[in-house]
Amino acid sequence: MAHLQRILLVDDSPRDTEMALDALATYNLANEVITLRDGAEALDYLYRRGPFAARTNEQPAVILLDLKMPKVDGLEVLSQIKGDPDLKVIPVVMMTSSREEQDLVKSYHLGVNAYVVKPVGFHEFVEAVKMVGGFWAMMNEPPPCSVQPSHEVRN
């Protein structure tokens, strides 16, 4: 049986975090969900810095990332992830309440894998998280762990 990778949930709203965790639990996902409150914590986690320095090298199967957060916003986190050869293969799903076209366009220009506007209603929010989490954690086929980024230029 394949090892279940973690889901990284980064959201500064305790309410949205709790609803997302409830949604993933009702979907019976066995994946461990790591919850973080802001983009700075997310980057520390991904780069194994500070309180996350001792964590395993295993990266998450997917990152569910809020857009508007304190310290470091979701767009900056996304930019750093997709600009790093070792992290760019991690799927990132922007989970946000922003319907602003500029946020959507910038997210895709930076390499987001999906952009989901958080529904206002509880049941709709739960269903959105269940679908997104289920797809990326269970259905998506990630590249093998042994694949290393290639830094050489080929003609």
| Each residue's pLDDT tens digit, 140-151 | 676 665 444 443
Give exposure, 109-144, as e/b (b: 16+ Cβ within 10 Å): ebebbbbbebeeeeeebbebbbebbbebbeeeeeee
At 51-87, the pLDDT tens digits run 999 998 889 988 999 999 989 999 999 999 999 999 9
pLDDT tier, 37 (very low <50, low <70, confident <90, very high otherwise): very high
Residue 68: the pLDDT is 93
The reply to whether 144 falls in a domain is: no
The reply to whether 115 falls in a domain is: yes
Residue 142: the pLDDT is 67
Tell whether the model's pLDDT for residue 106 goes beyond 80: yes
The reply to whether 155 falls in a domain is: no
Q: What are φ and ψ of residue 64, in 5° steps? A: -95, 110
The reply to whether 146 falls in a domain is: no
Does the model's pTM come out above 0.85? no
Q: How far apart are CA 97 and CA 15, in angstroms?
A: 13
Calculate mean pLDDT across residues 41-52.
97
CATH of the domain at 86: 3.40.50.2300
Q: How many residues in total does the chain contain?
A: 155
Q: Note whether 13 and 66 are within 8 A (CB).
A: yes
The reply to whether 37 falls in a domain is: yes
More confident residue, 22 or 49: 49
Give CA separation, 6 vs 34, 36, 154, in Å: 7, 13, 34
Q: Structurally, how many domains does the chain consist of?
A: 1
Quote the domain boundaries for residue 107.
Answer: 7-139
At 114-128, the pLDDT tens digits run 898 876 677 787 777
The reply to whether 114 falls in a domain is: yes
Cα first-last separation, the chain: 39
pLDDT tier, 96 (very low <50, low <70, confident <90, very high otherwise): confident
DSSP 3: P
Give CA separation, 125 vs 67, 122, 130, 150, in Å: 16, 5, 9, 39
Residue 136: the pLDDT is 66
The reply to whether 102 falls in a domain is: yes
The reply to whether 119 falls in a domain is: yes
Q: How far apart are CA 18 and CA 43, in angstroms?
A: 21
Token couple for 88: 């760019």
